[in-house]
Amino acid sequence: MFRMFRLIGKAAFLFVGISVIWVFIYRFVPPPITFTMIGDVVTGRGLTKDWMSLDRTDPNMARAVIAAEDSKFCQHHGFDFEAIEKAMRRNARGGRIRGGSTISQQTAKNAFLWQGGGYFRKGMEAWFTLLIENIWGKRRIMEVYLNLAETGIGTYGVNAGAQRYFGHDASQLTRAEAARIAAVLPLPKKRDAVDPAGFTRRYGNRIAKRSGVVGREGFDSCLR
């Protein structure tokens, strides 16, 4: 029994050390590939990405994802417990499952883990979220999120998405263009930012309006 606990302790110590080093490296180095990207390559969907720093990315893009995904991004420390509680109550009523993940949690998942649910994966996500909040800070979290988020089939990052949908890079996005990309993020393999119809169009219009509020009210202050 003692030997078993000793092995578990060593494994835990090794995991903590490796994960901290991994996160520290990604504070300065763009993640070269993710598990989700590997999945697209293996299944033949291809892989298109083009890293762009947060300084060069149009501010409309960060405001759009804050408006769409995480209005308290600059206020919380990785977890929005109110949003999580609301999501749990909605899911308990049945219907389409909704998440309460913050941009920080999504970034941790995209950079270090795999897609899908399960308590083990969610626990890992929480651990990496704590690490990036304390080692990276908000600007780096947003930068990595905007470059790893899936914006179309085999397309990763808002810069590659902007080139795919609008024929120019993400350094000069209009509010409407940024909102359309943000509207695609929840279902990037099923939604299209070019001439969207139905729910995607309406959702994009709502995001565009909210992103104006994000800028005026300073909800993106941690990125300035």
Domain-by-domain residue ranges, the chain?
32-223
Q: Give the Cα separation of 161 and 147 in Å (integer).
A: 10
Q: 7-21, 116-130, 191-205: which range is least confident on average?
A: 191-205
Query: Given this model, what pLDDT does residue 137 score?
Result: 96
Average pLDDT in the 115-122 region? 88
Residue 157: pLDDT above 60?
A: yes
User: For the chain, what percent of residues have pLDDT higher than 70?
Assistant: 95
The mean pLDDT value of the chain amounts to 92
Checking 29-32 for CB contacts under 8 A at 24+ apart, the result is 30/144, 30/147, 31/111, 31/144, 31/148
pLDDT of residue 98: 55
What does DSSP assign to residue 76? S
**Among 35-44, 138-147, 168-177, 193-202, which stretch is predicted with the lowest mean pLDDT?**
193-202
User: Which DSSP letter does residue 221 get?
Assistant: G
- 151: three-class secondary structure by DSSP: strand
Does the structure show a pLDDT above 70 at 194? Answer: yes
Write the pLDDT tens digit of every residue in 4-61: 888 989 999 999 999 999 999 999 999 999 999 999 999 999 999 999 999 999 999 9
CA atoms within 13 A on the CB side of 54: 19
What pLDDT score was predicted for residue 199? 85
- Which of 185, 147, 126, 123 shows the shortest CA–CA distance to 26? 147
What pLDDT does 86 receive?
79
Q: What is the pLDDT of residue 82?
A: 87
Mean pLDDT of 162-168: 96
The class level of CATH for 32-223 reads mainly alpha
